[in-house]
Each structure stands twice: as C-alpha cells, then as structure tokens.
Amino acid sequence: MAVYAYRCPHCSAIEVAFPIGTAPAAVPCPGCGASSARTFSAPMLTRTPAALSAQSRRAERSASEPEVVTSLPRRRAPGPVAAHPAARRLPRP
C-alpha cells in the first residue's frame, strides 16, 4: 500500500492509502465531504540515514566554503623505498 496526498479546498491535507497505481484523481474529504484533488510531492527524503545525510550536507558546504585545517595531518612511517630512481621523486603519504 502506498500513501497518497490529497488537498481539500475547505479543510486541509489528507493522506489516504491505496494499492500502488490505483489512486483516483480525487477523493471525498472525510471532514466536509468536498472533492479533494490529489497533490504530488517529493518522495520521503527524510528517511535517508543520518550519516549519509550529514555527509551530503558537509560535501555541499565544502564546495563553496572549504573547511579550515588547524593542524597538519600525522605523517605515517615511511614505507619501502621504490627501486626505480624516478619513483623516489613521487610524493609519499
């Protein structure tokens, strides 16, 4: 069952459950009996996991206002040195 939104011209918004694909264009308002037209809205975007939502907001913010770094990242212990001399000039993590 899917929940469909309808708006009564006299009362307020109404939510009615119908099987998917069977919702009519209008239903009678349970309060006043007037014909309520179906409204379309975005799907339930609030059900996004909190961690994913926070990461998305952070990425959007950093596009225009990058975060300020207050300290340098820790350096790892140097790994094995490459045998090829050109590889020695490459940056290391």
**pLDDT value of position 20:** 87
- Average pLDDT value for the chain: 82
Contact 15, 5 (CB under 8 A): yes
65 lies in some domain:
no
Residue 28 contacts by C-beta under 8 Å, 6 or more apart in sequence?
34, 35, 36
9 lies in some domain:
yes
Domain range for 35 is 2-39
Q: What's the token pair of residue 46?
A: 């609030």
Q: Please state the domain count of the chain.
A: 1
pLDDT tens digits for 28-47?
A: 988 888 899 999 877 766 67
pTM for the model stands at 0.46
Contact 14, 8 (CB under 8 A): yes
**pLDDT value of position 45:** 61
85 lies in some domain:
no
**pLDDT value of position 76:** 73
Instruction: Using 50 as the pLDDT threshold, list the residues of the chain that sit under it.
Output: none
27 lies in some domain:
yes
